[in-house]
């Protein structure tokens, strides 16, 4: 208590209540157009309902006062064991972190137990290294392309634009499959 970490509300407030309050806060931000889109709100609501408040693996019934870094780590392990992918697990933990930050702003807890909890993926998971074609291969590709595709290839090559930025026709030409 001397350190100022005790919060009386932490004994009464559950993670579920904190999630509900966080979603209300996000809805208010959305209505006021404060950097909260409807899509983002729907994603938050989906991850909260499908993972954090899940009846079997979720943590909704836990009191904030009993919620520790170990509890967050155990939750992370449960969602990974249940088949949730590494990227989704990271998103769920990021949302849980935001919920707990909201609880801090409401003076329900003094510290965020999700702080520093990471989701480690398997060794085989890693970023795919993108290797651009050689100058000779790019020149041959540009020379063989139709007029429309040639324009897109020249634009992509000169600006470093990715396939999505250039458009669907470039994606259809088969470069991602090693063919043109």
Residues 6+ apart with CB under 8 A from 44: 22, 23, 26, 95, 98
Per-residue confidence (pLDDT) for residue 101, from 0 to 100:
97
Mean pLDDT check: name the lowest of 65-79, 86-100, 110-124, 152-166.
152-166
Res. 74: pLDDT tops 90: yes
Mean pLDDT check: name the lowest of 4-18, 31-45, 155-169.
155-169
Res. 12: pLDDT tops 90: yes
Per-residue confidence (pLDDT) for residue 148, from 0 to 100:
84
Per-residue confidence (pLDDT) for residue 1, from 0 to 100:
42
List, as one string, the DSSP characters of 4-61.
Answer: S---GGGGT-BHHHHHHHHHHHHHHHHHTTSS--HHHHHHHHHHIIIIIT-TTT--TT
Res. 179: pLDDT tops 80: no
Section 53-70 average pLDDT: 95
Joined together, the tokens standing for residue 46 give 């989906």
| pTM as predicted | 0.70
Model confidence at 2, pLDDT cuts 50, 70, 90, reads very low
Per-residue confidence (pLDDT) for residue 7, from 0 to 100:
84
Domains of the chain by start residue, with CATH: 8-105 (1.10.150.130), 135-177 (no CATH)
Q: How many CA atoms, within 13 angstroms, populate the side-chain half-sphere of residue 154?
A: 10
């Amino acid at each position: 208590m001397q350190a100022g970490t005790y919060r009386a509300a932490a004994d009464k407030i559950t993670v579920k209540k904190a999630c509900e309050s966080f979603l209300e806060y996000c809805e208010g931000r959305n209505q006021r157009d404060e950097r909260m889109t409807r899509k983002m709100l729907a994603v938050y609501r989906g991850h909260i309902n499908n993972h954090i408040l899940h009846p079997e693996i979720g943590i909704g019934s836990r009191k904030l006062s009993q919620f520790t870094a170990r509890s967050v780590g155990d939750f992370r392990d449960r969602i990974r064991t249940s088949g949730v992918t590494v990227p989704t697990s990271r998103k769920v933990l990021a949302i849980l972190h935001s919920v707990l930050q909201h609880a801090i702003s409401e003076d329900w807890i003094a510290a965020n137990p999700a702080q520093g909890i990471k989701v480690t993926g398997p060794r085989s998971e890693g970023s795919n290294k993108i290797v651009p074609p050689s100058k000779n291969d790019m020149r041959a590709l540009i020379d063989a392309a139709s007029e429309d595709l040639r324009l897109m290839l020249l634009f992509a090559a000169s600006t470093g634009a990715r396939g999505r930025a250039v458009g669907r026709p470039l994606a259809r030409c088969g470069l991602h499959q090693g063919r043109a």
